[in-house]
Amino acid sequence: MTDTKTYRIKSFGCQMNVYDGERMGELLDEKGMRAAEDGEDADLVVLNTCHIREKAAEKAYSDVGRLKREDGSRPTIALAGCVAQAEGAEAQRRSKMIDVVVGPQAYHRLPDLVAQVEKGERPVDTDMPAISKFDAMPKRRKSGPSAFLTVAEGCDKFCTYCVVPYTRGAEISRPWADIVDEAHALVDGGAKEITLLGQNVSAWRGENEKGQDGGLELLVRALARIDGLERIRYTTSHPADMDEGLIAAHGEVDKLMPYLHLPVQAGSDRILKAMNRHHTVESYLRLVERFREARPDLAISGDFIVGFPGESDAEFEETLQVVRDARYASAFSFKYSPRPGTPAADMDGQVPEEVMNERLQRLQAQLAEQSLAFNRSKIGATMDVLIDRKGRLPGQMIGKSPWLQSVFAETDAQIGDILTVDILDALPNSLAGIIRPKEAAA
Ligand code: 5AD
Ligand code: SF4
């Protein structure tokens, strides 16, 4: 054994946290640390937390507590992510075990903060220096077949239930050249698919190398020209920010995958207004139809909140109706959770837990039925599958369909291969298929 220090980063919550976790790992690698192996004790543990729903902070503190080892010792502990941002120095008052508190806009300083711990300090860094963290990070070197690339951060929408504008700060678009460079580096490092990330990715704006100003469409079209990059996705979009150019791109850019995560949150105009969503049910459904006109096989996915303050039974029924009308292929659904400091937390008519449970169950049953129907509609289809991991059974590999379904197949192909697969069976959350032999695939 060498005395190289090891780290473990645990990311919770959204894909942006996954991205941030990878970048923190790269920063630590650059300082000569290495990722701890499975089962190996790490010298440094980074908890990259999520604050979007209830008990996030409590969960983070109990995760910290569990890091104590049997002999009473513990690793150096850094609390990162949105709980760190929201709690700040309070985190260290609540838990003596937390050595570093570092927010989502300050993590480029993580190695320095860890070095300060070695000098006996307990640093807290929740600054929000505009964009600079990206400039302070090393170039990307290696990548899995499917990579995340943060293009926009923060959110200015202020939906009344959401902490994001407070924990991630104001909306910021990364500059064009930085994004294009990072995409090239990811592809050189092995990525076949890139998912462009932003809490509100559809608000991205920038200027290309010719000085032309534009939105996500311009970026998608440029990235599609990168040789070796086969698939492009983006998430999460806000219905009020989608423009005609982006819709058209879905019909014209082959590399742009036929999948769109477009949260509606609720099916009642009164609730949408109280949520400050800047769209109505009708404008949302019209938008979905326009996307489907551009790309008829588009899979739509969404996010839903049940039990927003004041939501009546009838208003909840409207949510079930929008689920049917938008024909979701998949979705995430949550019980409303009051977040400290957000306007909705102080609204009248907080909905009792039992009512939320019942609504969530009904919504999820409806969504599950639709996902299964969508998956079944692919039985008999032939599709490209990007292999991204090993299955549990010997010889089994798992990949992603263009519609983001997990596809299981037996093959001796490698992670990163794109295979042509005939789909034989569908389950609620996956497809099963057989690989088409190479000559037949032509
Ligand atoms: N309670 C429940 N769900 C929430 N979300 C955001 N804030 C809350 C909250 N306070 C959900 C929204 C969002 C997704 C990322 O999390 O549906 O789209
Ligand atoms: Fe939160 Fe709304 Fe911004 Fe999404 S769009 S991050 S839900 S405030």
Compute the distance from residue 168 Cα to the ligand 2 centre, in Å. Answer: 11
Judge if the beta carbon of residue 162 lies within 6 A of ligand 1. yes
How far apart (Å, rounded) are the C-alpha atoms in residues 40 and 157?
Answer: 42
pLDDT at 9: 97
Compute the distance from residue 155 Cα to the ligand 2 centre, in Å. Answer: 6
- Model's pTM, two decimal places? 0.93
Measured from CB, residues less than 6 Å from any atom of ligand 2 are 155, 157-159, 162, 164-165, 199-200, 238
Among 385, 380, 421, 381, residue whose Cα is nearest residue 405: 385
Condensed to tens digits (0 to 9), the pLDDT of residues 63-80 reads 999 999 999 999 999 999
How far apart (Å, rounded) are the C-alpha atoms in residues 58 and 74?
Answer: 19
Asked if residues 222 and 194 have their Cβ atoms less than 8 Å apart, the reply is no
Judge if the beta carbon of residue 336 lies within 6 A of ligand 1. yes
pLDDT at 439: 60
Amino acid, single-letter form, for residue 419: L
Weakly modelled stretches of the chain, pLDDT under 50: 1, 441-442
φ, ψ of residue 307 in degrees (nearest 5):
80, 30
Compute the distance from residue 238 Cα to the ligand 1 centre, in Å. Answer: 13
Condensed to tens digits (0 to 9), the pLDDT of residues 21-48 reads 999 999 999 999 999 999 899 999 999 9
How far apart (Å, rounded) are the C-alpha atoms in residues 409 and 307?
Answer: 40
pLDDT at 131: 60
Ligand nearest to the CA of residue 338, numbered in listed order? 1
pLDDT at 130: 62
List the domains of the chain with CATH numbers: 6-125 (3.40.50.12160), 132-376 (3.80.30.20), 382-441 (2.40.50.140)
Compute the distance from residue 203 Cα to the ligand 2 centre, in Å. Answer: 11
Compute the distance from residue 251 Cα to the ligand 2 centre, in Å. Answer: 27
**Can you say whether the dihedral through the CA atoms of 364, 365, 366, 372 is positive or negative?**
positive
CA distances from 114 to 27, 83, 165, 422 (A): 12, 19, 27, 50
pLDDT at 222: 98
Which residues in 205-256 belong to E strands, given as ranges? Answer: 206-207, 213-214, 231-235
Asked if residues 29 and 4 have their Cβ atoms less than 8 Å apart, the reply is no
**Can you say whether the dihedral through the CA atoms of 403, 405, 408, 411 is positive or negative?**
positive
